[in-house]
Amino acid sequence: MVKVSDPLSLYVHIPFCDHRCAYCDFNAYAGLDALMPRYVDALAAELAAWVDVLGPRPLATVYFGGGTPSRLPLPLLERLVRAVEAAFPHRADTEWSLEANPGTIDEAYLRGLRALGINRLSIGVQSFDDAELRLLDRIHDAAAAETAYRTARAAGFANVNLDLMFGLQGQDLASWERTLRRALALGPEHLSLYALTVEEGTPLARQVACGQAPEPDPDLQAAMYERAQALLAAAGYEQYEISNWARPGYACRHNLVYWRDGEWLGVGAGAHSHLAGRRFAVVRSPAAYVRRVLATGPDRAATGPSTVPFPWVGFVEEPEPDRAMADYVTLALRLSEGLSLSAFAQRFGVPFEAVFGDAVPELTALGLLVRAGDRLCIPPSARFLAGEVQARVLAARRVAHRR
């Protein structure tokens, strides 16, 4: 049973952007800046409503994602941070992360973030090659990315992540290595590396369908991933998840909550939550979100996260045991530490081998899985194929139920 003293992680979605990049399928919008003040009002109201349901649980992590959270002017961000603090107590070691793009931040803004208690900054660099950045339709160049990083250091950030992408149009192994080496020369505590994917409904998908842009080359992406693994390991970074590397002690604690099947509350347009075994999703439209939250009266209180009558919640789902097991396995196998067999049995009341065990011998023989004591994990040499490994494990599933 969840207690009020149990820590909680909080995700806050900020959907505002300068413009939509061609590859982006996130819930992000350009041209909505006039909505910002009312959107922050709605976030504050939603936080107050949730504390009526959850009680004043202490925050272990807070993550401002988007969109581009650094598009919010400091006065609005301060109002938002104060609303978070008013709703849920935080601790001295609470991790406060905020995503920012070069070109939207300067030293005054970054010092303001530090004064508000933001202690982890994630900078969307994507590439240190100007031609690649133009093809990505980014608003910054490589020099601006380096300036943003150095300015963050000058403002007092001691925990900085850089987001990079590989498999881009016009990118080859040599240019990818140059981007990696420039990132490593800066010395961030954390690096997130993502392969370019063509997401349905994006401008990039339409460009690929019309022959205006090439499909990403999976063989080249695999070679780029392997090169990154080697360079980052040599530089002292630990790969703790498929797409994430960190210096010892700097893994993103917020994202670990997702991958370890923890509980988190998501507020804001399109945000998702995982509470008491149930999943919740907020309506995606920022305007609809603001209308529904601000129209809700003082009779908003609910008896617990199983009811959640809030009109801004788009759906509530309690996954069936087999679906919950599949989600658990998929997330755990993303982590370098892998899946704990004893934790799986405790969580679901059935041994892992009784549900998914048929896949293990073949995948182990192929070098795609490794059994190490209580843990089952994907070895470094197979991590680029993690999606295929996960799919083959799930395909071997037998129907089972929790006790």
Q: Is the CB of residue 122 less than 8 Å from the CB of residue 100?
A: yes
pLDDT tens for residues 107-117?
999 999 999 99
The answer to whether 308 touches 316, Cβ cutoff 8 Å, is yes
- Tell me the mean pLDDT in the region 217-242: 98
Name the CATH superfamily for 8-258.
Aldolase class I (3.20.20.70)
Q: Is 160 exposed, middle or buried (0-12, 13-18, 19+ CB in 10 A)?
A: buried
Average pLDDT score over the chain: 93
For the chain, percent of residues with pLDDT exceeding 90: 80
Tokens of 85: 């603090």
Per-residue pLDDT at 400? 47
- Which pLDDT score, from 0 to 100, does residue 3 have? 62
Question: Taking Cα atoms as reference points, which of 48, 73, 11 lies closest to residue 270?
Answer: 11
The residues, any chain, with a CB within 8 Å of residue 245's CB and separated by 6 or more, are 190, 191, 192, 193, 232, 237, 238, 239
**401 vs 365: which has the higher pLDDT:** 365
When pLDDT is averaged across residues 208-213 and rounded to a whole number, the result is: 87
Q: Do 8-258 and 321-395 come out as alike in CATH topology? A: no
Mean pLDDT (whole number) for 216-237:
97
How confident is the model over 32-52, as a mean pLDDT? 96
Confidence of residue 205 (pLDDT cuts 50, 70, 90): confident
Answer positive or negative: Cα dihedral of 182, 222, 340, 10. positive
d(CA 326, CA 344): 11
Token digits for 180? 């990696």
- Does position 401 have pLDDT exceeding 60, yes or no? no
* pLDDT cut 70: percent of the chain above it: 95
pLDDT: which is higher, 296 or 398:
296
pLDDT of res. 360: 94
Backbone angles phi, psi at 59, to 5 degrees: -85, 125
The C-alpha atoms of residue 46 and residue 296 are separated, in whole angstroms, by 10
pLDDT the model gives residue 138 = 87
Q: Is the pLDDT of residue 5 over 80?
A: no
Is residue 73 very low, low, confident or very high in pLDDT (cuts 50, 70, 90)? very high
- Bridge partners of 313, per DSSP, are 282
CB 156 within 8 A of CB 121: no
* Inter-residue contact 148 to 100 (CB < 8 Å): yes
For residue range 76-95, list pLDDT tens digits in order.
Answer: 999 999 999 999 999 999 99
The DSSP line for 206-254 is HHHHTTSSPPP-HHHHHHHHHHHHHHHHHTT-EEEETTEEESTT-S-HH
pLDDT value of residue 372: 92
Task: Please report, for the chain, the start and end positions of each structural domain, with discontinuous segments joined by +.
Answer: 8-258, 321-395
CA distances from 124 to 162, 192, 318 (A): 6, 10, 34
In the prediction, which pLDDT does 297 show? Answer: 62
Q: Among 165-169, 180-184, 197-201, 254-258, which is the least confidently predicted range?
A: 197-201
pLDDT at site 300: 53
Which of the pair, 2 or 326, is modelled with greater confidence? 326
Write the pLDDT tens digit of every residue in 95-107: 999 999 998 999 9
> Tell me, what's the pLDDT at 307?
56
Pick the CATH number of 321-395 from 1.10.490.10, 3.40.50.12280, 2.40.30.70, 1.10.10.920: 1.10.10.920
Note the pLDDT of residue 402. 41
pLDDT of residue 303: 46
Q: What's the predicted TM-score (pTM) here? A: 0.94
- Size of the chain, expressed as the number of residues it contains: 403
Please report the pLDDT score of residue 397 as a whole number: 86
